[in-house]
Every structure is written in structure tokens, then in C-alpha cells.
Amino acid sequence: RKEVEQDPGPFNVPEGATVAFNCTYSNSASQSFFWYRQDCRKEPKLLMSVYSSGNEDGRFTAQLNRASQYISLLIRDSKLSDSATYLCVVRANTGGFKTIFGAGTRLFVKA
Amino acid sequence: NAGVTQTPKFQVLKTGQSMTLQCAQDMNHNSMYWYRQDPGMGLRLIYYSASEGTTDKGEVPNGYNVSRLNKREFSLRLESAAPSQTSVYFCASSLTLSDEQYFGPGTRLTVT
């Protein structure tokens, strides 16, 4: 089992739709969680950190469920510019620093 | 304020050749990282440096060496390139190991 798993997609949604991605992790000692977006042939860019209480940034909402060991990203009112690959990142510091990237979920938003 | 810069952007090597990838950050970050990204596999950590003067192995360190030259610069060296090292290499930095990472634009390396 991979340490961080994401549905690779692709998710094809129309503009204005709401779409949600989940990411599961296996290390119960994981401490920090992030969502990044990556455009084709570009570097990953931080979208948002994920806090225990959940957090929102405009159209984006991130949630953490420690009991079930997953994080989620909800995008409301999808825009064409949201088309990208979304990477979840899980970080732990047990027996050494460890940061694991998921392989990403591809999103296509269509007019 | 350029953030994280990497050189070169593209490189083609023959098997057995060596090269060094350069990375610099101007955000006064303590921690720096080198990743490789291959299709369908996500980013994998090669080496990282928690702070100036320290380096540690990541998930896939074999075939690579690193040098934390100073607080700003962190280089990655391939001593004897192999086709399996064909990949996109990203450098990143963060204020500390627990903070969000900021990435450079990447180096696309092909080993023939």
C-alpha cells in the first residue's frame, strides 16, 4: 500500500461545478498536511495548508480527518483556470523527517 | 525576490557523464530539498538539508550526492549518470522542516 494515495482521475467537470478530492495516508503519526497544484510542465505551487479544524480559502475548502486518515479538498464554482493536477502532501517526523507527495489528481474544467 | 531558482532548465547527458544541478533561494529559508518527479509516481525526495551544514538522505538517494554550500545554495550531483535518472528534478525550500515548501521551476534531465 502506498503511504499517500490519491485517485489519479481525471475528473472532468463543467464550469461552475463543485468537485471534491480525497487523499488517504497510512502513517498515523503524520503531522502536517498540504494541498499543492501543479500545472502541466510547471513546478508544484502551494494551494493551502490543511488544519485540524478545517480551513477555507475563497472557493477552496480543506478538511482533515485524523480518525480515518484522510484529507480532502473541495473546489466550489470551478473555473477553467482550476484545471491542473492537485497533489496532497503528508509530513511526519518520526524516526527522521519524512515528506510524502501523492501522485496527484488531474482535474479538467470545461466550458 | 526570485524565490527558488534552478540551473540548468534542460540537460542531456550520456550514460556515465557527471553533472551538478544548482539551486538557490533568496527567502532566508533554513531547509532545502531535492526531488525527482517521474510520470505517475509523484515527487520523491532525494536528499534534504534541514539547516545549513546538515544533509540527510530521502527516499531515493542512490546515485546522487548533495552539498549545502551556504544557507542560500543547495546543489545536487550525479557522479555517473544512468538512463534511470532521466527525470524532472525540483529543488524546494522552506523556513523549517515543518513549513510549506516553495519550489523552483525544475530541471528536465535526459540521460541517453
- Convert the pLDDT of each residue in B52-97 to its tens digit: 999 999 989 999 999 999 999 999 999 999 999 999 999 999 999 8
> Cβ contacts (< 8 Å) between A4 and chain B: which residues?
42
**Which residues 6+ apart lie within 8 Å of A39 measured at CB?**
A84, A85
- Distance linking the first and last C-alpha atoms of chain A: 37
Q: Which residue has the higher pLDDT, A93 or A11?
A: A11
Average pLDDT in the B97-112 region? 94
pLDDT band at B103 (very low <50, low <70, confident <90, very high): very high
Q: What is the mean pLDDT of chain B?
A: 95
CA B63 to CA B84: how far, in whole Å? Answer: 10
Q: Please, which residues have CB within 8 angstroms of residue B79's CB and are 6 or more apart in sequence?
A: B18, B63, B65
Binary contact (B101, A97; C-beta < 8 A): no
- B57-64 long-range Cβ contacts below 8 angstroms, 24+ apart: B58/B33, B58/B34, B60/B36, B64/B34
Q: What distance in Å separates the CA atoms of residue B1 and residue A3, rounded to the nearest whole number?
A: 35
> What pLDDT, on a 0 to 100 scale, did the predictor assign at position A30?
85
- Check CB contact under 8 Å for A97 and B56: yes
Kindly report which listed range (A25-29, A68-72, B47-51, B82-86) carries the lowest average pLDDT score: A25-29
> Which residues in chain B are closer than 8 Å to A103, comparing Cβ atoms?
40-42
Residue B4 has pLDDT above 70, yes or no: yes
Residue A95 pLDDT level (bands cut at 50, 70, 90)? low
Q: What is the dihedral of CA A33, A38, A42, A48, to 10 degrees?
A: -50
Which residues of chain B lie closer than 8 angstroms to A104, CB-CB? 42
Residue where the block lists cell 547527458: B13
Range A77-90 average pLDDT: 97
Contact call for residues B104 and B5 (beta carbons, < 8 A): yes
Going by pLDDT thresholds of 50, 70 and 90, the confidence category of residue B39 is: confident
The predicted-structure confidence for A18-61, as pLDDT tens digits, reads as follows 999 999 999 888 888 999 999 998 999 999 999 888 899 999 99
